[in-house]
Each structure stands twice: as C-alpha cells, then as structure tokens.
Chains A and B, each alone.
Chain A
C-alpha cells in the first residue's frame, strides 16, 4: 500500500490544457484517461519546494482512480519508479496495463 502523502502547497493543478512554464506535464492513456475524465494537465512546481515532487505525490494529489501499483510510470518516455524525483519540464505519464501486438 502506497503512503498517501498529499504534497499540499507543492502542487496546484492548472485547468485542463493550460500550459505552465517549467511545470510538469501529466499524461493519461486508455481506460485510465476515461476514468479520470482528462488526458493531460500541467502542474506548476514550486521553486522553493522542501522535498522533490514524485509520481506518487501527483497520483495522490490528483486523486486518480485505482491503485498506483496497477500502473506503470514513464518520465520523459522512459519507464520510472513512483518515487523518482521529478524536475521542471518533465513529462510524466501514468500507463494502465499494456496490451500490444
């Protein structure tokens, strides 16, 4: 069970589709996108943040549906762990179970 740790003042979610300079772009796909009701958001990152923002923080603060453990995470198109520190300008994607081929 992942700890639920809302980042509070570290994160405020911009209106859907509104670009934020130096923020983090968050992308959802397939069934997760439809459950959440949005495909993409930009989250600003506070310059004076005391602790690094992670995919796990954002999953919890955005109140995305289901357990994060059922998702895979990609940062800048590479698979990553839920605790990977995010940097301004990163693209974060939450990927529901893959079924290609």
Chain B
C-alpha cells in the first residue's frame, strides 16, 4: 500500500460520525458521503478493467479457435498451453509482471487477458464443433463455400457455447481483478485493501466495496443472459 497514494478519506476518529468512529456494522452515512470520491470511481475502474480484459481475451481466443478449427492439429498444443497458464496463481502473475512493466495498467491487464483467454478458448472451439453433420452436409450440397459455411452456419451455431464461456470468463475476471489492486489504485480491490490495512479495519468500506463487486458480477451475468435470449432465438 503506497503511503503517498491518493485515496479515500481516512475515517477520522474523533471527527467522524458516531457510526464511523465506533466502526459499526454498516454506516450508510459514510457510503452516501463517499460514493463520489471512493466507491464510484473504483467501480468504474473495475468495469473498465473487466471489459477491456475480456474483450482482448475474447479476440485472441476467437482467432485461435478459428485457426485450430481449420488446422485440427493445433488444438492440443494450444489447449495444453492454456491449461498451463491457468495454473499460475494470479498473485504470482501480477508480482512477476510488476518487475517488467512496473505498477502500470499493462501489468494488470495481461494476466486478466490470459485467464479470460484460457476460459474462452475451449468454449469457442467446442461451440464451433457443435454443428450437426447433416446440417454441414446439406450446406455443402447446396453450394455454400467453406467461408460462408463458417460464418453463416458454424459460428451462429456456436453462439450458445460462446456466451456460456463469456459468462464464466466475465465473472472470474471481476473476481480476479480485485487482486489487481496489489498493483496500485485501480479497481474495487483497492478500497478493500486500504480498509484492511488500517489499525482497525473499517467494516463499512469493506462491505460496500464487496457488495459492489458481487453486484457487478451478477450484473454482467444478467446482461449476458439477456444477450443470449436475444441472439439465440432458436434454442430457448
């Protein structure tokens, strides 16, 4: 924890409200007062981190899946590499990357991208393989070119798997991104870390940040469920 970091207001024992000084279970007053300078900015950072990491992870995973869909031999090596990445604990990943990229956004984003990628890749691959053989035969017989078959048949049929993978990836990323606060003041992990370091850990800050994190994960999940309902009309 940086001594000189910009941060939330330190509960001033002596001048804060009774709730705060007494460190009661939950102080609504504090939440209202510090929404704008503490909770909301970190929430926004967390959302940004998650969206960027999953977006990049998805782009890479999709590209890799298309490649291994065409060249089946590559599937095993890619899958094994992915498995290996997943075994690296997030703490370890962040700490190692600090040495190379410092306390920057790059250090944070790279492991998050890695974990998203690892979750998304197998889901996309299995989705692409899920097209029934007779559908592919009919498509070929009708005169669809391989590229048309991919984009008009195989990819749309892969959507349920892809969205399933996205749900898992997003929820995991929201959780892992809390650890990213090891690397500095970004994300909802930071208020939690900060409150932990105080002589008396400040409950309200921990709980309010916690509620936001869990709520965020839930929120993303609901959005993706809604997306599935819209995009996958044919398999309700």
Do A and B interact with each other, yes or no? Answer: no
Interfacial residues, chain A to chain B (CB-CB below 8 A)? none
